[in-house]
Amino acid sequence: MPAKRKSKDYIPVTVPFSAESPSAKASRAGDLDEKSTIEISDWANRVAWTDRMLDALTVGVRGGKWHALIDKVYRELNLFVSARKVVGKKGAAGVDRQSTEDFSEKEIAEIKQLHEQLRTGTYRPRAVRRVQILKPGSKQTRPLGIPTVRDRVVQTALVNVIEPIFDNEFHERSFGFRHGRSCHDALRVVEELLETGHVFVVDADLQSYFDTIPKDRLLALVSEKISDRRVLDLVKRFLDQSVLEELREWTPESGVPQGAVLSPLLSNLYLNELDHRMADQGYVMVRYADDFVILCRSQEQAELALEEVKRFVCEAGLTLHPEKTHIVDSRVKSFDFLGYSFRGKLRFPRAKSHRKMVDTIRRLTSRKSGQSLEATIAQINRVTVGWFSYFRHCTWNIFDK
């Protein structure tokens, strides 16, 4: 069959992130509407946060630091809610080989034991089991840390208590791992900036960010807002957890384990200063976890912005990837952000995103899968529906291929 020819009146069509169809809005039910905002009081865990604490979050606390928090962490109801959340997510077992099902069978006894250990200061996290997983669309691997189920429960209880304190300080253009914010919200901001002439883009890449965060500096940032010594000690114990990989155990000198419940919050905290520094100097940076772009109106402004990023990275003990950090004129060359490639008025899945989807389908349709045809079709449907849902904002014609 001959390929379709483009007519002289061919115009690429795109569904803007800020103007979804009714069906697209329905497909992301529960997401934040583009005009609305979510207050911390809407999502703060009420087993840990009282109305009085939320009021203090708004007006500020004496001395700017929070104290007497550990009792909120080891409160049995907080541990119970945290356990249900961890068990609901399932996940692999840690070094103790205890599964979420095993934990659930003796949940009350486990919670009482954790409560007593945290109350008396005798709780000690176990080593983190490390496995290597393939990077999306690549044959390279990255490490993934798997804490024990008990440690995941305690970390969840800890996050329930301290997350509102730090989220209250985070910049509005930080979107990763935050309540009421999504990848599409970040992409929407990028789209709006491109449309208003911010076409010179600093596309930066932090090399092995999670593994290189200096622990002492990170703990110092936590202590700027929290004075409860027992909470700080608990955070430090999680930062100092040893790692077990293929029967070898060691303690990393830096970094937070990818896969730990606490890591997303701490990784956001460490880059919060960069968010505010860039905004204070008039630069527009959009960040999702360690993935960020700075959109500028001129090449000169982009070069100055990159220099400021380099200064921060040096001060923070981090490293920019030299081959993946550059300035792009998006009118003539594409840049990637959160799985999308942007060039001019076009938006399309980046090559890695496409390869990941193709590799997944190949794996599912392999003769070695051992699944029935019905199960295979159901899995493929889930993968393709999810993929096309995420990339529904691409320029329409790219799928004509």
H or E segment and range at residue 82? helix 76-89
Confirm whether 28 is domain-assigned: no
Residues 94, 149 contacting (CB under 8 angstroms): yes
* pLDDT for 6: 44
Rounded average pLDDT over 269-275: 98
* pLDDT for 38: 76
Q: Across the chain, what does the average pLDDT equal?
A: 89
pLDDT tens figures, 186-237: 999 999 999 999 999 999 999 999 999 999 999 999 999 999 999 999 999 9
H or E segment and range at residue 73? helix 70-73
Lowest mean pLDDT of 86-90, 123-127, 379-383, name the range: 379-383
* pLDDT for 7: 42
CA 307 to chain CA centroid, Å, is 25
Confirm whether 352 is domain-assigned: no
Q: What is d(CA 172, CA 43) in angstroms, rounded to the nearest whole number?
A: 16
Rounded average pLDDT over 263-268: 97
Q: What is d(CA 92, CA 149) in angstroms, rounded to the nearest whole number?
A: 9
* pLDDT for 257: 87
Question: What is each CA distance from 294 to 8, 35, 322, in whole angstroms?
Answer: 35, 23, 17
pLDDT tens figures, 338-361: 999 999 989 989 888 888 888 888
CA 24 to chain CA centroid, Å, is 23
**Cα separation of the two ends of the chain:** 13
Strand 128-134: give its sheet, edge to edge: 141-146, 128-134, 243-245, 248-250
102, pLDDT greater than 90: yes
* pLDDT for 398: 54
Rounded average pLDDT over 390-400: 72
Confirm whether 21 is domain-assigned: no
Percent of the chain with pLDDT over 90: 71
Q: pLDDT band at 315, cuts 50/70/90?
A: very high
Q: pLDDT band at 136, cuts 50/70/90?
A: low
19, pLDDT greater than 60: no
pTM, two decimals, is 0.86
**Nearest CA among 115, 106, 113 for reference residue 75:** 115
401, pLDDT greater than 80: no
Residues 94, 129 contacting (CB under 8 angstroms): yes
* pLDDT for 272: 98
Q: Which residue has the higher pLDDT, 383 or 201?
A: 201
* pLDDT for 94: 96
Residues 107, 83 contacting (CB under 8 angstroms): yes
Q: What are phi and psi of 342, to 5 degrees?
A: -115, 130
Burial (0-12, 13-18, 19+ Cβ within 10 Å), 344: middle
Confirm whether 204 is domain-assigned: yes
pLDDT tens figures, 29-46: 334 343 345 789 999 999
Confirm whether 214 is domain-assigned: yes
Q: What is d(CA 79, CA 70) in angstroms, rounded to the nearest whole number?
A: 12
* Position 186, amino acid: A
Number of structural domains the chain divides into: 1
**Nearest CA among 166, 306, 176 for reference residue 225:** 166
Q: What is d(CA 295, CA 283) in angstroms, rounded to the nearest whole number?
A: 8
Domain that holds residue 115: 41-329
Confirm whether 379 is domain-assigned: no
* pLDDT for 109: 98
Burial (0-12, 13-18, 19+ Cβ within 10 Å), 349: buried
**Nearest CA among 22, 17, 24, 13 for reference residue 396:** 13
Confirm whether 243 is domain-assigned: yes
H or E segment and range at residue 388? helix 373-390
Rounded average pLDDT over 313-321: 97
Q: What is d(CA 352, CA 358) in angstroms, rounded to the nearest whole number?
A: 10
Torsion of CA 206, 182, 176, 95, to 10 degrees: -100
Confirm whether 203 is domain-assigned: yes
